[in-house]
Amino acid sequence: MDALYDEMDALHEQNRALLASLPSIVATTHLGICGKLAVAAIEACPEDHPELHHLIASILRDYRALHEA
């Protein structure tokens, strides 16, 4: 069990580092922008920030609709 917790801690730290680097990554495609918006929607927890989460999710939906046509 200790090994599992250690692995979870390592993955959590890796996730935090990747999240911190995301703003410096330039999205060069619409899929890249959608990916960054999806991460933002996940990070804006709907229980803690419902208005922000719904706003980001609606922007992502609208952006996808524009690029699917």
CB of 67 closer than 8 Å to CB of 30: yes
pLDDT score at 69: 64
Q: How far is CA 23 from CA 19, 61, 64, 65, 69, in A?
A: 8, 20, 20, 24, 28
Residue spans of the chain under pLDDT 70: 69
Whole-structure pTM value: 0.74
